[in-house]
Amino acid sequence: MIVRYIFDMKIIRTVKRICGGIIRGSFRGIFRFLRRRKFLSVLLLLSCLLVYSMVEPHMVSIDTLRFSHPDIPKVFDGFKIAFISDIHAGKYYSRTRLEGLVQRINEIAPDLVLLGGDFVHGDSESIPWCFAALSGLEAPSGVMGVLGNHDNWAGGALVKKAMRDNGIFVLDNTSVWVYRQDDRIKIGGVADLQTDFQDLKETTADLETGDFALLVSHNPDFADTLTNDKIDLMLSGHTHGGQLTFFGLYAPVLPTASGQKYRSGLVRAEHTSVYISRGIGTITPPLRFFAPPEISVIVLQTEEN
Ligand SMILES: [Fe+2]
C-alpha cells in the first residue's frame, strides 16, 4: 500500500514537472513570438516611412497664396506670379523631371515667373541642361530670378551666363519695374546671404510711398536685415520646408538663423511679409517627409477684394 502510494506520488510529480515545463516553455515561446512580432512591426513601419519619404519628392503640389496689399495697383488685381526655388538639378533631379515641371508651370499660365535660386546641385555639369530646360518657361512679364548658395558653389558666373543665354533675367542686387497699362510694381532681388554680398539700393532707391515692391531673396533670413517697410512682400526658398520633418510640425535641421520661424509658408517679419517655398528638389539625402515640393502661385489682390 505504501509502495503504491509512493509510486503514485512519483507519477503525479513527474506529470506536474512535465506540465509545468510545457507551460513555462509556452510562455517563453509566446514572449519570443511577441518580441519578434514587435520587431517585425517596427521594421515594417520604418520601411513604409522610408518608401513614403522616397515618393514624397515626386509629389509636387501647387500652393496658392492670395496676397492683398493697399499698394497693389488696381490693374494688377489678379496678377499671377509662379515662384519656384531650390530645383537642385543634378544627381537627384533629372532633366526629364525639370522639363515636366516647366510644362506644369506653363499650364498655370502665370503673368510672371520668379526663381528663388539653388538651381543646381554639386558641380557645374548640370548648369547647361538646367537652364536649357528653364528656357521653356513662358510668362508675358518675363522670367527672372536670383542665385542661391549652391549656385555660387557650383560656379556663380557660369550660372549667371546660362541664365542670360536662356532669356532669364538675373535679379541679384538689381530690380525691374513691371508695367500693366500705366501702373507698375517693383520686382527686386538680392544676391545670396550666405555666399555673396547684398545690395538693396537698386530696388529701393526710386521707390515712392505707395509703390508695391516685391523682393526675391534665396535666404529668408535677409528679411531680418531690413530696416524699413519699403519691401511689401519677400519670396524665399532655401529651407526646403525642413525637407525631413516630424509630420510637418517640426524640422530638426533648418539652414536658417531663426529656428523654425522661416520653415515655410507666409510669415510676418518686423518690416515685411515673407513667403518661404518648400522648394522643388532635395539635398542629401534625396528624401522628403511631410515637406512636399511646391510650385507657389502668388495672386496679387487689391485690398478691397
Ligand atoms: Fe536649396
2-47 tens-digit pLDDT: 445 554 556 556 556 655 555 566 667 767 767 888 888 999 999 9
Determine the distance separating the centroid of ligand 1 and the alpha carbon of 149, expressed in angstroms.
8
Q: What is the pLDDT of residue 3?
A: 46
Q: Given 3.60.21.10, 1.10.540.10, 3.40.630.40, 2.40.100.20, which CATH number is that of 61-302?
A: 3.60.21.10
Determine the distance separating the centroid of ligand 1 and the alpha carbon of 164, expressed in angstroms.
21
Determine the distance separating the centroid of ligand 1 and the alpha carbon of 280, expressed in angstroms.
9
Q: What is the pLDDT of residue 199?
A: 97
Determine the distance separating the centroid of ligand 1 and the alpha carbon of 198, expressed in angstroms.
18
Residues with C-beta atoms within 5 A of ion ligand 1: 86, 118
Where in the chain does DSSP place strands (E)?
61-69, 80-84, 112-115, 143-145, 169-170, 174-180, 183-190, 213-217, 233-236, 265-268, 273-276, 294-302
Q: What is the pLDDT of residue 13?
A: 67
Q: What is the pLDDT of residue 264?
A: 97
- What are 180-198's pLDDT values in tens digits? 999 999 999 999 999 999 9
Determine the distance separating the centroid of ligand 1 and the alpha carbon of 46, expressed in angstroms.
26
Residues 291 and 278 sit within 8 Å (Cβ to Cβ): yes
Spell out, as residue ranges, where the chain has pLDDT lower than 50: 1-3, 7, 305
